[in-house]
A and B are shown apart, each in its own frame.
Chain A
Amino acid sequence: MKDLQWFPPILEPRAASVRPILWSVVAGAAFGCLLFARGHRILALGVWVVTSLLALGLSSQSLRRHLLRAFDWLGAGAGRVTTLAVLWPFYVLVFGAIRLALSAARIDLLGLRLRREQPSYWRPAAPETKRAKYYERLFTVEPAGEQSHVFAWAIGILAFVLLLAGSSELILRSMGFGNPIVYRVDPRIGYYPAPHQDVHRYGGEIHINAFGMRCRDVAAEKPAGTFRILMLGDSTLYGGSYIDQKQTYAARLEYLLNQNPGELPNSPRRVEVLSMGVNGWGPQHELAYVNAFGLFHADLVMVMGPPADAYRPRYGIEHFPFFAEGHRPDFAWQEFWEHLRWQHNQRSTGGSAGFDSGSREGQVLAEGVDAWIGIATLAQAQGSKTDFELLPNEDEARKGRAGELTQLVLDRLLPELAGRRVSEAYPLPLIRSNLGVPKLYHDGAHLDVSGHRIYAQYLRDRVLQVASAE
């Protein structure tokens, strides 16, 4: 049947727009540039290839149809995911909490209760003069309720706030906040991890023994037939919350050496590695610790960490987002808030005073190096071998040379160590040759899982070398 155009053509819904695809092209190109600038060249290339294909697809009529369909499908899929991941939890938690709160407060929001004693259910309407103010608005006066709506809204808002706090608490706890290691404040040392702690963080387990070390329980007296290594250092030795205790290089080293302990001098039956690395420590903390606790009869004392640690004075816990013993946070958001505050302070003050102060010279550096020398002297006096393992950071590894601050430390420290015939190493070639390994560094300064593994292998050879040397 031929029909005439009785009306202007019946308009169908607007055709799908190519705008989302155009925006994707622009965003993809920009994202590729960002990846390139961050050094992820292959990934950047991949992103550019995809965005170029999208742009080419737009220029072809038939391809455009397929693209639009694909984007529709993606959009619908993204909508479903968003609905499930965002809308559903929001609905269940927020609206469910409000319903509970209303029920608990016995607020009949919609007037559902039958009131058989009431002669009429008619409600007086707002006067027209009041309604007239809303003629051009998208809303109007609400009907007068049986109870004050202000109270109902207050309950609802309170429930919402509580729920928000509760859900954020859960989310933060799932991210690892809320159960941190707490620290013992010590006037001699500054601070160190409080003894006897077992916590599970987002990276895995952390066990602090009786001496504040992140390693398994050990006796103060070295057992017979044991080769004991005492490691002293900072967060690079400690490993951070992102790594399980067994994966730290100290734990790995103990495992590797125990595969064949007979390789060590005097063929001990077993090897113990005592890992006394503490977040934020510098040489002065390390020296104070060994002055307080001794060297645990270690056969080998290893000082670990970046050379720039020498710039750290012996400051206290207040410089960090740490919690003191007995003041464990009750909520995850307390810890999260402390971290945020600390990061803000870092940015606004350029770092806390005395922390990586950037001072090229000065008393702090001298004291730091002196403290390290002090450890070496103490170890030698007690008949322990000493070794300094100075860890390069990722930037130094890429450039193939020590940074300016690091060089200043090395210039001051290495001659002192040489004069005392203390072994040292700054394994820049090792790190540099492994730069392509995924998960080498966690953040440019701290090693990640692969880095700990590779470093442990290296340290095993170093221990055998140092332990066997005269």
Chain B
Amino acid sequence: MNILGISAFYHDSAACLVRDGRIIAAAQEERFSRRKHDARFPINAVTFCLREGKVGKDGLDIVAYYEKPLSKFVRILKSHFVSAPQNWEAFRQAIPLWLKERLWLPYTIEAELHRLGYAPPHKFVYPEHHQSHQASAFFPSPFQSAAILTADGVGEFDTTTIGKGQGNGVSILWQQTFPHSLGLLYSAFTYYTGFKVNSGEYKLMGLAPYGRPTYADRIYHHLVDLRPDGSFRLNMKYFGFLHEMRMTNRNFDELFGGPPRAPESEITRREMDLARSIQVVTEEIVLRMARAARSQTDEENLCMAGGVALNCVANGAIARAKIFRNIWIQPAAGDAGGALGAAMFAWHQAENQPRTLDAGCDAMRGSYLGPSFRDEDTQDFLTANGYPFRVLEGEGRAEAIATQLAQERVVGMFQGAMEYGPRALGNRSILADARSATMQSRLNLATKFRESFRPFAPAILEERAADWFELDAPSPYMLMVANLREDRRRPPQNDEASLPLDQWVNQVRSVTPAITHVDYSSRIQTVSARTNPQFHAILSAFERMTGCPLLVNTSFNVRSEPIVCTPANAYQCFMRTGIDVLVLNKFILHKGEQPAWEESIDWKQEFGLD
């Protein structure tokens, strides 16, 4: 049975094909359309999934959409019942779209499938938004049963749920509803500190270690009425998203001493402290929720999904608190993962099909579910354009790449199937030597063209993770933050907090300064030979050469651009940036050997700021 899961129309559209309970393919639309957070119907992702799965024109059995449009519409109407007539602008933008398109979702999907030459499916299934998150968290996990915690901005009504997964079923036990949302609370601070909502949250997370939690008490006292069990209500007197087109309002400004930071302007101590404060509050809320989930379900395992589950620092706090024995987080924890969750829900829950667990392994296949490219096609591309390349084959490939990295060259790595989710996990990555003291600034300013304060994350051999980090479980999807072990740290040379931000970030704090944040934390990817043997081989070769089993692993893109998808995207990014070497499957290209790169457009303007 072929089940196509779709998420669309809010942000991060995606598609996923599940066949008889096995994930065949999954991808986000933005990778194909090259529009970040593309919210349109994922026609290209759907095309890819159906072709990858070789689904016949009449072969689609079920289409599962990741939420219930009518319920969401009712919630929107209710929001306007309590905010009219102030919120006219939001009403004006939303209602015509709903009336014209979103309420007719089954027809839209059928029309798009028809455009691709596919017959309508036999059935449509519409799990609730948080059911899709639950399903994406539990069904691919390695657990027979688990507590499930989902938290995001908002689905239909729910913003946070505690549930349980058992066998082939998930159920929501407790819920919190709009507008009391941890995701929206975090997004409000994202907005206030001058970052873009729905894409800048992880920047706020990265800024937090630079600050002090001086505003935490103010947040607890004025903004959030928090209960011991993690449930809370927001004091809507301070938030604008119900009545206006902004996340915060004047009361919020007065509370925190001024208007929001203008985007791209200087980041001051206030923003750092706000980032730290909201991070502390978020962690506290999530910890309490996790404890509540434990007490309500009495489960040893925890599964998480929803946009808040991308807060790796909070995830690390849950792990350290040892509330649960095991934690598994869906790598595509945001709305893109809803497509996968909806498909899995349709198979297991709606069709009542059993789960087959694979001895401690999850079903995500390393989250390498996107398109891959044959060597022949890649060579054709390079030859057609006259791009000089060399061939790396066999065991020598890993050694050659590791040599380049050891010489402090920045390597763009393009191999295998594309990752599904926001993180690059070695197949669409920029790799670099984490030991270099200048690598962080070099990557931020000359390669990624992004804010200098942002840290980089390491990829490390799974079997060596515990030697370097205070981590006692695998973290294959870069969703856990853990601290560098004390024996790897170096004490700060001066009073860092008094330094300007760009100097503070460049202080050497460990033997691997490029991936060590100011508080010695890192967002870790553990690489296993089983899920990504090629990447594992590169790391092993690098360790043999240098004694260091980890590398900087950052996504293969520049700021505001989606992660590269095709060899052409990769070559373009390679030539536009400070990447020294490009590896396309078995081909290696050196920057100095390439023809001059000319473009008629200013590519930096091509992608809006995020």
Contact = CB atoms under 8 A, between A and B. Distances in A.
Contact of A138 (B48, B70, B161, B173): B70
Contacts of B55: none
Interface stretch (A2-10, A41-49, A285-293, A427-435): A2-10
24 contacts: A1-B385, A6-B373, A6-B567, A7-B48, A8-B51, A11-B116, A79-B96, A87-B95, A91-B91, A95-B91, A98-B84, A112-B179, A114-B225, A120-B227, A121-B231, A122-B175, A123-B175, A125-B163, A131-B128, A136-B124, A137-B126, A138-B105, A139-B70, A142-B157
Nearest to A82: B96
Nearest to B380: A4
A128 B106 CA distance: 24
A119 B123 CA distance: 43
A441 to B, nearest CB: 43
A142 B566 contact: no
Given A95-B80, A136-B126, A140-B156, 17 more contacts: A1-B572, A2-B384, A6-B371, A11-B116, A88-B92, A92-B84, A110-B82, A112-B179, A122-B176, A122-B292, A125-B173, A125-B175, A135-B350, A138-B70, A138-B71, A138-B126, A142-B74
A116 B380 CA distance: 67
A99 interface: yes
Interface in B149-202: 156-158, 161-163, 169, 171-180
A99 B84 contact: yes
A2 B385 contact: yes
A79 B105 CA distance: 22
A354 interface: no
Interface of A: 1-4, 6-8, 10-11, 13-14, 79, 83, 87-88, 91-92, 95-96, 98-99, 102, 109-112, 114-116, 118-125, 127-128, 131, 134-140, 142-143, 156
B227 A91 contact: no
Nearest to A123: B175
Interface stretch (B232-240, B459-467, B580-588): B232-240
B88 interface: yes
A156 B123 CA distance: 36
Contacts of B116: 11
Interface string B65-87: 00011110010001111111100
Q: 5 tightest CB-CB pairs across the interface, nearest first?
A: A95-B84, A121-B231, A139-B70, A128-B171, A125-B172
Nearest to B117: A8
A8 B384 CA distance: 19
B214 interface: no
A144 B125 CA distance: 23
B499 interface: no
B88 A92 contact: yes
B5 to A, nearest CB: 14
Mostly, the A contact residues are loop
A134 B173 CA distance: 17
B71 A125 contact: no
A3 B381 contact: yes
A115 B236 CA distance: 13
Contacts of B105: 138
Interface centre among B69, B79, B91 (most CB of A within 10 A): B91
Contacts of A112: 82, 179, 233, 236
B174 A96 contact: no
A342 to B, nearest CB: 37
Given A102-B82, A122-B292, A7 B225 contact: no
B96 A121 contact: no
Contact of A6 (B124, B163, B377, B572): B377
A119 B225 CA distance: 11
Nearest to A108: B82
B568 interface: yes
B95 A11 contact: no
A269 to B, nearest CB: 62
A124 B81 CA distance: 24
B238 to A, nearest CB: 12
A156 B77 CA distance: 12
A130 to B, nearest CB: 11
Given A7-B44, A121-B227, A142-B71, A128 B169 contact: yes
Contacts of A7: 32, 44, 47-48, 51, 371
Given A2-B385, A11-B43, A136 B125 contact: yes
Interface in B212-231: 225, 227-229, 231
Given A112-B82, A120-B231, A121-B180, A11 B115 contact: yes
Contact of B177 (A10, A79, A124, A143): A143
A91 B96 contact: no
Contact of A3 (B124, B169, B568): B568
A119 B227 contact: yes
A121 B176 contact: yes
B231 A99 contact: no
Nearest to B105: A138
